[in-house]
Each structure stands twice: as structure tokens, then as C-alpha cells.
Structure 1
Amino acid sequence: MRRARVLSGCAVLLAGGIAFLSHPRFATSLGRNGSTGVPRSAFHPAEASVEGIESAGPVMAAAAAFLFSAVLSQGWSRKSSLPSAQLTGIAAQAAPCARYERALVPRSAMLFEKFSEKTIKAVMLAQAEAQKIKQDHVGTETLVVGLLAEGSGGAQALQTLGVHLNEARRELETMVGHGMGGKSQEIPFTTSAKQVLEDSVRCAHERDMAQVSTCHLLRAVLLQENSNGCKLLGKVLATESLQVLREKILAALARVESTEAGNKVPMSGTARTVADEVDLTQTLKYGTDLTQAAREGRLDPLVGRHEELQRTIRILGRRTKNNPVLIGEAGVGKTSIALGLAQLIAEGKVPLNLQVVQLDLALLLAGTRYRGDFEERLRAVVKEVSESQRRVILVVDEVHTLVGAGSGGDTGGGMDAANLLKPALARGELQCIGATTLDEYRKYIERDPALERRFQPVMVPEPSEAESVLILQGLAPKYERHHQLHYTNEALDAAVKLANQFIADRYLPDKAIDVMDEAGSKVRQQLYQAAEDSQNAAERWAAGRELKEVLAQKQSAVNAERYDEAAQLKRRQDELEERLEGLQQSHSTDDLLKELQGLGAQIREAVVAERFVEAQELKTREKEVAELLEKKGITSEAARRQVTAEDVAQVVAGWTGIAVEQVGASESARLLHLEKELHQSIIGQDEAVCSVSRALRRARAGLRNPSRPMAGFMFCGPTGVGKTELCKTLSKTFFGKEESMIRLDMSEFMEKHTVSKLIGAPPGYVGYNDGGSLTEAVRRRPYSLVLFDEVEKAHPDIFNVLLQLLDDGRLTDSKGRVVSFANTLVVMTSNIGSRSVQKSASGGSGLGFGMAEDEEEDKYSKVKELVHEEMKSFFRPEFLNRLDEVIVFRPLREDDVRAIAEVEFKKVLNRLADKDLHITLTQGFKEQVLKEGFDPAYGARPLRRAITRLLEDTLAEQLLEQSAEGEGKHLSVTLGVTEEGKVKAEVTQIKDVEPEAKESPVLEDAAAGV
């Protein structure tokens, strides 16, 4: 300690001497030569710069006096061109300056010996702040800014009250302004600032402290009643009462000082470093100080999770086994709890002495090429944390990565991080907050009992939708500042609801936050991408350039007295000016956006001032600007910088591949008329269409169990009656596109071992890494229709898997991943009972042929009973009970087949719409197709074959003949039937067909022909 005081004293003297020698007035008296060896003619003892020494301040004067005494005593004058007598004169003239304020000089020299390194740094930063604004003194207000710039102790207390460095700097500039001071080496202190420095020593002595901390310096500032330092703090905190100001800051100081372990060091004996002087160089080299980040406002707020956070704090306050590990699925907010703890500590709301540092294992491992490098780094971190007077909590995200980290992998030879930390965790020298998933915890932590018992698990469940909405509302201001937009409440609600409904492989609130973030980015991109039309800009540039040339030519013609030419150029000038005026009226997008935003404020101002006529005119202009922006692709909501529920729906649609209409509010209205859409493609199956539509409406209305699939159907009936066609139509109508159907042919699952194809092969078998054909498809397309075609052909063990799917709405694949079927529609088709249906439909008295409607319904009811009996004899009861409905399809009647033929004709003709053919189908041709294509036993499948043979083959020949004769010929083809029942085609050429009308007549004639 004595040696340190001697060294610090020498440093002060040396600094003062340098400052003295470099002082401008002293340099002036020495002829501005910068060295002591000036010519004798340039030095005048009578003009020795006593005034310059006095202006340098008492500390500088004392340092200069001691420096010159040292020069004389060491005989350094022999190396200079000045005689010793003259140097003695300088020292003699410097001595009165040292006695000028002799009461202050010794105290100033002793003050800084009692200051801690942090406090000295704060004083030096205060001088730097004064230099920035060119002030020639350091006052109490500048000391406050220096405290905040240093950042520990007293600064922490101010930051908990909302006093931040940038705000204090602005207030300092407002208070004292920019001066005219120069760049001197040392700026003197005002009398009030000197008093603060002395009072800080007294504050430390009263608290039995060996060194003056930044907290003591802040207390000393508060002792000066009318100082500028108190005024600055009062303005920043918006507090006029000095008493209220003192109470707030002293309370914050008490909280900071109460959390400093061992900060009351006796004045005598060896004093240990106070808590705010703890050096965590190695720890912060491989980590991030979350507590400091919270003080600076760089962390997102924690909303909710009160129980989990309090449980974490209770575990940290335990005497032993005080290491919590947060366990939950990815995205539920485990890391946010640790960040929330750091915020509570920064605000002084936690009765624990903690500093939270997030450790980055990747940084610890980076560059450790040789054995022992990693262990050395980690031991250095543990040593720093254990020796720290403040309790440092290490946050390790993905804590399971400690197991095996740094061990060298297969080469071995090194200890991993978990084994290195076990002794410190057991002795209580190190505290750690871990975060991991339940699967990783079981796989890595639980299998090591010694490591497991050192952690206390804290389960973090997924929040509900209501809790997630509150979380988004708490985070929205940060995202609004980032995107410079406003989120409506409807947008936040939609982000949670749609993310939870359509994004099944992730968890709340993470997926909802991502949706909200991307929706803001989308609207912001929409605003800034819509730029002014480049063609308009090019035209304006060309017209302006031509106008400039015309003006020059006109002036030349006038000067040369060519008045006829000048008159022509004048007319051309008028034309160009009129054209430019028209082009400039087309505002750019940026101008329109700025105008629209300004119009809103003007309208409100006019309404408040009761200028209603003006307000009406402004609203008319606002509507015009909005229409112009909509033509440029910018909605009125986006123009007002708002993120709406529609923007959120578009983002979700982009993520999942679902049409926007499926996730928007318009879906409800469409579901009310779902039967009408299905009937356009499904003929003769009214009961099946109505049953499916009712089930989908129940699912969308929220009346179903949210964990189960939307519905589970069994379609039974003979082949060719529309079972698979209904599935295709449903996937296109309800799920947005036909590709949304996942089809599994159950004839491929007839063997027992094929069960693994659905959910994936077990470990050790071929195909383990490929996943299951069912689970992988649903995991990638969670919003889809799953069709198990001809399910009765599958092995009986397959139905055990389907039991869980239909009841719980989820399956676990071979890798342990849970796949949700909550957004799927499960349909199974079966031919069980088809013989009973065909038998009832065959013969003159069969179902649907020459039978009254009531009699037909009775017959159909009996057929349904027969089918159900056959299904009960084939399937187990627990399987049938999990189905929502078993739908028996009717056999097709002749009228049904005729209607199906009309639909198929339209499909073929629509595919030929871009060809140069006008097609007409005669009634005889249609009857011939129906005659060859109708078979009650096989349904509509023979009809398709007949259409292919009679219609498509004939048209293909005509198209090839047309292509061989060359383009440019437009043909009209009429298909009929000869007396022998053969198809004949009458072809005529159409002349003078307008090019733009080539496609329309094909569709019109085709429709008319059908």
C-alpha cells in the first residue's frame, strides 16, 4: 500500500509538472520553445510566469514546485542552457503559487490517494466531458455526467431511476452550453466540485470504507444544496423538490450498496476491493453481462412467467443446490426468464446480490487447438466468479451442451465442461442457470446423476393463447420502434390465433412473435419498395433536357433576328412546358405517403378548431391520395403505417402454403355455402356432401376437440361412385389446392413390418433417417387432407396406429418427434359392403331404377344397415367408435351419369380453349358416349374411358391434321354419330378470325355445344 501511494504521488507530480510546462502562458514566457534549454536572451526572470502558474490551479502549482525542486536537487540544470540561479528563481516564483491555496493543495494531493480506480476514472471522464463542450472548468454537473459515463456504483443507482448517459449529456449542454475553452491538459475544478471531492472522502470515512467509491461521490453531490449537479439530476428526473430528489437517489443508492458483498472495509489494515471494482475480464471475454444490458435498456421486457421467475429466484436464494435449470420446449420463453431476472436485478427489485452473465460455450471452445486450452479458459472463468465479491450467476443456454464440450470428441484425453464445473457447483463457489428442452435434459443431464442433483428443475410450459397475446402486447412497442409501424390489437390477436392454428410444429409465443415481426417487415417493405414509376421519371428528364435546348435555340434565333424560327421554337417550348406540368402532377410514392400522413393531422386539427368545411375538403383529398396509392399497390392501412390482421394472415399463408382465403375471415362465409361448391363436381351423393360440410363447419366454429383431427370419415360404397373424387374436391375447395391431399394406398401396407413405413423405421434398421411416409408428410404440410385409400387391405396392426391418430390427433415418429394432426381431415375409403350395394342396384327392381322416392329411401336405408353390419364384422369396435361418421355412397343412376358426362365434356373442352378449334357436340354423340360408358356395377369409371376413346381420340386426330397443314387455319369440328353407331367428325374452315378473338369463340361454342 505504501509503495502504491508513493507511485501514485509521483504520478500526480509528474502529470502536474507536464501540465505546468505545457501551459500556454508558461510556454509564452519561455518563447513557446517547449524545452527548458532556451537561449538566455529569450528568458527574462522578471517575467517568470507566476500568473500562468496561478491560473494552472493549486494542484498544478504544487506539482511544478516539487518538480523544479527535484530538478535542482538532481543537478539536471547542468544539462540545460539555463544557469542554476535562474532555475532557482523559477522555483522561488513557483513556491508562492503553491502557498496560494496552501490549505487546498495538500488535501488535493491526498484526496486521489483515497479514491478507488473507478472513482478516479469517473473524475477523468468528467474532465473529458468538459473538454468536449469546451468548458474551462469541471463543475458538479460535469462530475455527475462523468459518474454516468463510468457506469458502476453510483451510475447504477441513477440508471435504476431512469437517468441515462445520453440524456444527461444533452441536459449538460443545455445547462452550461458550449464554451470557448482550449484543449488544456488539465481543467480545474470549481469550488463546489472541490467540496464534493472532499465530502466524498468524509462519506467513505463515516461508512468505515478504505476507498472512496462512486456511490460516495454521488452522495457528496447531493450534499450541495444549490449545486448544478443537483439541478441537472432534478431536470432529468423531472423533480423540482430537492428533498424528493435526495430521497429517490438515496433509496436507489441504498439498494445498490446493500447488494455489495463485503463493501464495508475497515479503514485500517489491508482493504479488499469493493464490489463495484470486481474484475471479470475473462468471464466477460466469453460472455455477455445481462445485468448491464438491462440497465442500458437493450433487453426485451419479460411479460408473464411470474411463477417460473419466482421459483428461479427462490432456488438462487438457497444455501445449497441453488442452480435452477429451466426445462421446456423450444420457443416457450426459457431464456427470457433469465433475461427477466437480469432486469429485476438492474431495477433493484430482487433481494439478492447478483450479477447475471450469459456464458457462450462457442467462444470458450473457439481457438482451443491443443489439449488443456479449454480447461485453462474454463478454470479462469470459474476462478474469477468464485473470487468475486458480488455473486455472479452464469446463464448457460442449451445447458446440455456442457456434457462433452471440450473433451476432444473421439480422440478423448480431455475433461468436458460438465466435469470441470461439478466441483465448483458442489462447493457452492459457482451458480448457474441452465436452459434446455425436456428431451435433451433426459438424454444428457439425467443420465449423469452427479450432474443432475446439482440442478433444480423448473418446468416452463407453453403459454396459453391469452397469455401469448399479453406477451405480444408487451413486446409490440419495441417492434413498432424497429419497423416504424403500429400494430393494431386485431393484428396481435390474429398473430397468436393463426400461428397456433396453422403452425403446429412450433410453440407459443415464439411462433407468434416471429409472425408479428415478419408482418411488420412485410408492411415496411411494401411501403419502401413502391417507388416512383421509372418511365415517368425518364420522360420528365427527357422533356426537361429538350426544353433546355429549345430555350437556347430560341434565344439564338432572337439574337439573329430569325423571328419565324423563334416563333416555332416558342410553340415547341409551350408544348414541352405543358407536358412537363402534366408529368409533374403524377406524384411520387414518397410524396403521396407523406401527404397522406400529413392530411390526417390536418383533418384532426380542423375538426378541433370547428373548421368543418376545411375538414371535409381535406377528407376528400385524403380519399384521392389513398386511391392513388392503391393503384401503386399500397393499401390504406399500410399507407397509415399500420399492421393489420390481413397482413398477419398473408404471412401465415406464405409460411404454410395455404391460400390467404383459408386463413382469413372470409372462410366462414364460404363454409356456409360449401355444399353448393361440392355439388358442382360431386353428382348424386347429397348425403355424403352434407355430412362432410357439417363436420367442417363444426371444426371451423371451434365446437370440436381442438387436439383431435377436424373430422374422421369412412367412405364406403362400390367403385366409381365418387369417393376419391370427393376427397380431391375437398382438398381443392377447403384446403386451397388439390396438392393438399396426402394419399396413402393401403395396399402397400399389407405386411406386418410395413407399420414402420407410416411412422419411420426403428433405430438400427434401414430407413431410420428417412422418417415415416405419414408423419413426415403431415409434419411438412400440417393443413391437409389425409386419405387412406382402400383401408381394409392394410394389415390389422395398422389400425392400432390409426386409433391414436383419430383419438389424440397426434403420432410420435421413430425419432421421438410428436406430429400433430389437429389441422388435418382424415378420410378412409373402403369397398366393404360394395357387393350388397351392387346387388341391391342390379335388376329391374334395383335401387334407383323405376322406383318411387320413398321406396328408394327405404331400400337405401336397408343397404346402409347391411354395410354397417359388414363393417362391424371386419373392423374392431374401438376403431369404428373413433370415426365421426361412416358414409355409404349411393350407386349412380343413369341421370347421375348423364350429369357427370356433362362435367367431363366441359373439362375436355376447357383444356382445348387455346387451340384454334370450335367444337360442337351433338345430342346423338352424347347419348352414344352415355350408352357405352354407363355400367351400374362399375360406376363412372367406364364413362371416363368412353370419353377418352370417343371424344379425346377424335379431337387428337383433328389437331394433328391441323398442325400438319400449317398454322393459320381455324377449324370448326362437329362431332356426331352414324347410323351404325360410329363417331363422325364434320370439319369446316373458318375464315377471317380476329386474332384477339381466337380464344373466346372456342369457349362460347363449346359451352353452346354442350
Structure 2
Amino acid sequence: MGTLNPDLVSKDVDAILNDAVALKDEYRKSMLIPELVLLALLRRKDTAAARLLNLFKTERGVDLERLDRQTHLAAEQRRDQDGNLDFAALNNRLVPMSRQTIILVDEALTVAQAAHEIRVDTDHVLQVLGESSMSTSGLLRQHGITPKAIQDILSDNSRVITRAEATTRDFVASAKSGKLKPVYFRENLLREMINILSQSISRHIILVGPDGVGKRTLAYSLALLMSEGKGPNGLKSLVQVDEAALLESDQKAVRMGLNQARGGIFFVPLLHRFFGGPIKADFAKATPLIQKAFLEDDPIIIGTTTDQEWQNRLMNINAITENAQLLRVPEPSVEETIEILKVMRPHIEADYDLKVNEEALALAARLAKRYMGSNPLPRSAEQLLHRSAALVSMARQTQLPYKPELDDPSTLDAEDITLAASQMTGVPVSKLGEDERLRYASMVEHIKERLIGQDQAVLAVSRAIKTARVGLKDPKRPIGAFLFLGPTGVGKTELARALAEFMFGSEDAMLPLDMSEFKDESSLNRLLGSPSGY
């Protein structure tokens, strides 16, 4: 006797079957029968089937309590033949499944595959339970719950029955049903994207930019436009494959995603993971499918990657370079980041149950740009905002032993942002709280307090820094390159230390390289890297 493959069913279906096992014991049955599965479906909340049944109740007046009672009576009287297949329940207990229950799972898998899903979920089970071949069909049909009625609800694009382990997600459908959060629209980039999508050739797009600048958000904002009927003509969906489904079976998940995205857009974050290069591809089995998709017109592929990954993995693949267009996504300005944070503010307030001052949003963007350069905007500002909100939330939790002492634990203000930024960067609060304009205006005087008698060097360095601060610097060039000449002890290194302390709050921000260690060519390779093929 075999055992049901656990990889065929979702966690929710596994839980339903375990509930049915408990009911089997309660009803003193020898095996799992469809009536017990239906009873478990009716009683377990927060599943795709439960949400579907709730729609039948609210929109079609179905009496679910009466259906529960009828199913209870049917389960008591029902008999079925053993199907020679066991279900592995909790604690590795093997429970026999009836012949009809095996048919139920088999047909539910067919329904799931038709819906571009890898695993059987609860709504697929409910649909098959209503089929005329099942012993439960009469119970469900009395209440108007038929496969056709279920399909009518599922085909309504204004409504999405979310499931815990969906293989794919259509963000246009999610937006129509209100399940996609509002995002900031970067209008210039959206205009360029829609322009490319409106062409008749080379419509595939690669969004290139550093991690954290908002490439995914750009795609989701396009989905929001499409949900309002403001997207490019002829495109109806924006489909993305679930990460968990990719990890489990990348080839199957990508194939299902491409099938569901027909007539729309197939969105592939971190496209480089499907292709090799200096390192092995993460999802090598799905590589041919993605590569072939770039050679076709339907669906349209929108992928994201970074400059480095584009150069290392993607730019030499003809299928991509000949059929896709690059759209570079730069880091937003501080002003644009503030607008992005304003869109996020209602969600932050709801998540942490507090009010966020507008001054706090502006300060979060400025401090993130100034002191958290390892992450670009807007991600760094978003992280700072969440960290600050968590601090304020902690202050209200009386049971916490190490909560911060804040003046107003119901409002997120500039002081909270400063405190969180200090914790994240190690820069003292006093430095973060200073007015930037006044601080840089007195830069020369500040450095001269530490370095006496080197006015020319201090002025040269300060002038370069101030020029960069007002935006007159070429962004592709360094702020300055200085060669300090003079005998030992006159203040060359001290000037570099003073500059690091002024700009970054700590002398540790200076990275010293003792060039006497690099006199030999073999030692110099430690700076430049080994020659090719070494």
C-alpha cells in the first residue's frame, strides 16, 4: 500500500486532511471519506476555501451552518471502499483513504494544474467536492455551490481568493481587489516603460539599478495603473512567480507563470539568478524557458537586475540583448524620497499604531542619504522609518525591560528618527541633530580647532566638500583627490582624521593604506587584484 505524496498538497490541505483524521476517529470510521474532508473544510477558517464559502454566504445567502449539519449526518451514514493508499498524518500515523477520497485528490490536482498551480489547495478540493462524481455533490448543489458557480466567482477579476501557497500572483488582479498597497508613481520612469510596452517590437524590459532604488515598486505601480484601465493596450495582467515555488521546482513554477501571463506581463525580479556567469545560476533548470520567452512576443518579460549582474551574467546573452531594452532606474533624490515616505505613512501608522509627523519623514530621508550610504534611497529611509516606529512602539509596551524613554510614545517625531539613526549608524545623537547648513558653513573653523597652521590645506579640502554638497560636483567623479606633501608630524594624517570625524562622526571612517607595504609588485596585487588567469 502506498502513501500520498505530501508535496502534492499545500499546507492548508494537509491541515484539512489532519482535521479529517480527527473527525474519522470521532465518527469511528475506518478510513478518510469525502464527507469528512468537506466537514473539515467548512470548519477551518482562513483558507482559500473558507474565503470562497464566505462569498457564497454573503452574496448568495448560503446557510453554511445548515450545510455543516447536513454534512455531519451524511458523514455518519457514509460507507466507502478502501483505496489502497494512506495519508501520512501527524506523528507519522498512516491513515487509509477511501477510493473516492483518492479520486478527490487526483481530480483536485488536475484542477490545480489547470489554474497554473503546483500544489492542490483548499479551493481546488472544494470545487471537486461539487462534481457529480463525488458523493458530496448533492449536499453542495442543494446550496448552489457547484463547480460552475465557483468558477463564476473565481473568474470575477475584481475578486481574488488568496491562498497561502500560490504558485503565482497576478498583481493587476490584486490591485483590482484592493490587496495591493498604494505606491509612489515615478512618473518619468513609468512614462518610459509604457512607451517601450507600446512598441510593436522589442517590448521586453530589463530594469537596471542598485538594490533598493525601487525597481520592483516601479513594476507594481504599473500594475496599479493597469488595474485602473490606464496601462498599455492589450495587456491584462502582471504575473510574478512565488519565491517558495521557485525554490521547490523552478522549471515547473516558471512554466506555469509563463502560461498564466499569456496576454500580459511576466515579471521576473532578480533576472540574473536564472543565468550563469562567474557563479552558477540559481535556477538553472528554468534557464531555457526564460531564454526562450525573450524570443517570443507573448508574454512580455520585465526583469530586474543590477549593473554588475547585467555585465557579468546577462549582457552576453543574445536572446536578451537583441529582444529587450534596458531601462536604468536611478536612486531617487531626497525630495522624491520624502514623497515616497508620505505614500508609505498611512501603512506605517497602521502597522505600529502611531502618528508620524511630516518633519520626521523629511529627516528620515536626509539622515538616510547622509549616514546610511551603503543602502540607496528609498530603501535606507524606509528601514530607518521602520526602526524609528519600532522604537516608539516599544516605549508603549510596559512588559519590556529595556524600552526607550520617550516624551510621546504615540507620535513618531524628528527626535525619534535621530535616536534610531544613531543606533543604526553609531553616529552620536548630538552630531545627527546639528543643522547641516550651519555645520558645513563652519566646516573650516571646526577642522582648524584640531589642525593649527595648515590653513591652505584645510581651505582646499573644505572648498571641495562644499562644492559637492551644493550639487556642483560631477556625480561620476570623486569629490576630490589630494596629495599632502610635508615632513613627518606636520598634520597630514591628522587632517584626514579630522575630515573623517567631521563628515561621518568618527575617525574610524578613515581607511588608511600604508603604501610602504606595497613597494613590491607582488604586494601591489593585493590592492588591484590578481592578473587574469592567475
Shared fold per TM-score greater than 0.5? yes
Corresponding position of 2:425: 656
Corresponding position of 1:305: 186
8 Å contact 1:469–1:492 — kept in the other structure?
Answer: yes
| 1:336 Cα deviation after fit | 0.9
The structure richer in helix per residue is: 1
Corresponding position of 2:238: 356
Corresponding position of 2:43: none
What are the within-5 Å matches in structure 2 for residues 864-879 of structure 1? none
Corresponding position of 1:463: 332
| 1:729 Cα deviation after fit | 5.7
Q: What SS is found at the alignment partner of 1:463?
A: coil
| 1:378 Cα deviation after fit | 4.5
Question: Which deviations, in whole Å up to 9, do the C-alpha atoms of 1:204-229 show, x marking residues without a partner?
Answer: xxxxxxx99999x9xxxxxxxxxxxx
C-alpha separation in 2, matches of 1:736 and 1:380: 52
8 Å contact 1:530–1:633 — kept in the other structure?
Answer: no
1:504 to 368, 373, 381: 373
Question: Which deviations, in whole Å up to 9, do the C-alpha atoms of 1:692-740 show, x marking residues without a partner?
Answer: 2785488469357555766665554444445545655665577544434
1:688 to 448, 451, 454: 454
8 Å contact 1:704–1:710 — kept in the other structure?
Answer: no
Structure 1 residues 185, 677: closer, same or farther in 2, change over 3 A? closer
C-alpha separation in 2, matches of 1:358 and 1:377: 10
What are the within-5 Å matches in structure 2 for residues 461-860 of structure 1? 461-528=330-397, 634-636=405-407, 638-639=408-409, 641-665=410-434, 685=452, 687-688=453-454, 692=458, 695-696=461-462, 699=465, 702-703=469-470, 705=472, 707=475, 714-725=483-494, 728=497, 735-752=504-521, 754-765=523-534
1:400 to 269, 272, 279: 272
C-alpha separation in 1, matches of 2:177 and 2:260: 24
8 Å contact 2:431–2:505 — kept in the other structure?
Answer: yes
Structure 1 residues 489, 745: closer, same or farther in 2, change over 3 A? same
C-alpha separation in 2, matches of 1:654 and 1:514: 12
| 1:667 Cα deviation after fit | 6.8
Q: Is structure 2 residue 220 aligned with structure 1 residue 339?
A: yes
Identity of aligned pairs, percent?
Answer: 27
| 1:375 Cα deviation after fit | 4.7
The residue type paired with residue 329 of structure 1 is P
Structure 2, unmatched stretches of 5+, are: 1-51, 68-138
C-alpha separation in 1, matches of 2:141 and 2:285: 52
What are the within-5 Å matches in structure 2 for residues 404-419 of structure 1? 416-419=285-288
The residue type paired with residue 179 of structure 2 is R
Q: What SS is found at the alignment partner of 1:528?
A: coil
8 Å contact 2:171–2:223 — kept in the other structure?
Answer: yes
C-alpha separation in 1, matches of 2:464 and 2:398: 42
The residue type paired with residue 358 of structure 2 is N
Q: What SS is found at the alignment partner of 1:435?
A: strand
Question: Which deviations, in whole Å up to 9, do the C-alpha atoms of 1:54-79 show, x marking residues without a partner?
Answer: xxxxxxxxxxxxxxxxxxxxxxxxxx
| 1:435 Cα deviation after fit | 1.5
The residue type paired with residue 526 of structure 2 is K
Question: Which deviations, in whole Å up to 9, do the C-alpha atoms of 1:921-978 show, x marking residues without a partner?
Answer: xxxxxxxxxxxxxxxxxxxxxxxxxxxxxxxxxxxxxxxxxxxxxxxxxxxxxxxxxx
C-alpha separation in 2, matches of 1:749 and 1:525: 51
Q: What SS is found at the alignment partner of 1:348?
A: coil
Question: Which deviations, in whole Å up to 9, do the C-alpha atoms of 1:10-38 show, x marking residues without a partner?
Answer: xxxxxxxxxxxxxxxxxxxxxxxxxxxxx
C-alpha separation in 1, matches of 2:54 and 2:419: 54
Structure 1 residues 521, 689: closer, same or farther in 2, change over 3 A? farther
Structure 1 residues 662, 691: closer, same or farther in 2, change over 3 A? farther
8 Å contact 1:426–1:454 — kept in the other structure?
Answer: yes
Structure 1, unmatched stretches of 5+, are: 1-118, 135-182, 189-210, 218-272, 369-373, 534-631, 766-1010
C-alpha separation in 1, matches of 2:206 and 2:227: 22
Q: What SS is found at the alignment partner of 2:303?
A: strand
Q: What SS is found at the alignment partner of 1:742?
A: coil
Q: What SS is found at the alignment partner of 1:743?
A: coil
Structure 1 residues 649, 760: closer, same or farther in 2, change over 3 A? farther
| 1:643 Cα deviation after fit | 2.1
1:328 to 209, 212, 225: 209
Question: Which deviations, in whole Å up to 9, do the C-alpha atoms of 1:614-659 show, x marking residues without a partner?
Answer: xxxxxxxxxxxxxxxxxx96333x33x2222332233333333322
The residue type paired with residue 745 of structure 1 is D
Question: Which deviations, in whole Å up to 9, do the C-alpha atoms of 1:540-590 show, x marking residues without a partner?
Answer: xxxxxxxxxxxxxxxxxxxxxxxxxxxxxxxxxxxxxxxxxxxxxxxxxxx
C-alpha separation in 1, matches of 2:192 and 2:444: 54
8 Å contact 2:167–2:253 — kept in the other structure?
Answer: no
| 1:358 Cα deviation after fit | 0.8
C-alpha separation in 2, matches of 1:673 and 1:415: 57
Structure 1 residues 131, 501: closer, same or farther in 2, change over 3 A? same
C-alpha separation in 2, matches of 1:720 and 1:376: 68
Q: What SS is found at the alignment partner of 1:432?
A: strand
C-alpha separation in 1, matches of 2:268 and 2:353: 33
Structure 1 residues 659, 431: closer, same or farther in 2, change over 3 A? same
8 Å contact 1:496–1:512 — kept in the other structure?
Answer: yes
Question: Which deviations, in whole Å up to 9, do the C-alpha atoms of 1:85-120 show, x marking residues without a partner?
Answer: xxxxxxxxxxxxxxxxxxxxxxxxxxxxxxxxxx99
| 1:403 Cα deviation after fit | 2.4
8 Å contact 2:184–2:339 — kept in the other structure?
Answer: yes
C-alpha separation in 2, matches of 1:721 and 1:424: 65
C-alpha separation in 2, matches of 1:496 and 1:348: 33
C-alpha separation in 1, matches of 2:337 and 2:142: 56
8 Å contact 2:240–2:257 — kept in the other structure?
Answer: no
8 Å contact 1:127–1:186 — kept in the other structure?
Answer: no
Structure 1 residues 509, 295: closer, same or farther in 2, change over 3 A? same
| 1:380 Cα deviation after fit | 5.0
C-alpha separation in 2, matches of 1:419 and 1:472: 40
C-alpha separation in 2, matches of 1:442 and 1:710: 26
Question: Which deviations, in whole Å up to 9, do the C-alpha atoms of 1:321-368 show, x marking residues without a partner?
Answer: 4322222221121111221122223233334341222113652341x5
Corresponding position of 1:454: 323
What are the within-5 Å matches in structure 2 for residues 36-47 of structure 1? none
The residue type paired with residue 748 of structure 1 is E
| 1:449 Cα deviation after fit | 0.7
Structure 1 residues 711, 522: closer, same or farther in 2, change over 3 A? farther
8 Å contact 2:239–2:261 — kept in the other structure?
Answer: no
Provide the aligned length of Structure 1 versus Structure 2: 401
Output the TM-score relative to the length of structure 2: 0.61
C-alpha separation in 2, matches of 1:286 and 1:401: 18
C-alpha separation in 2, matches of 1:743 and 1:532: 41
8 Å contact 2:211–2:376 — kept in the other structure?
Answer: yes
| 1:477 Cα deviation after fit | 1.4
The residue type paired with residue 405 of structure 2 is I
What are the within-5 Å matches in structure 2 for residues 890-929 of structure 1? none
Structure 1 residues 749, 347: closer, same or farther in 2, change over 3 A? same
The residue type paired with residue 287 of structure 1 is T
C-alpha separation in 1, matches of 2:522 and 2:413: 51
Q: What SS is found at the alignment partner of 1:331?
A: coil
The residue type paired with residue 406 of structure 2 is T
Which structure has the higher relative contact order (CA within 8 Å, separation 6+)? 2
The residue type paired with residue 432 of structure 1 is I
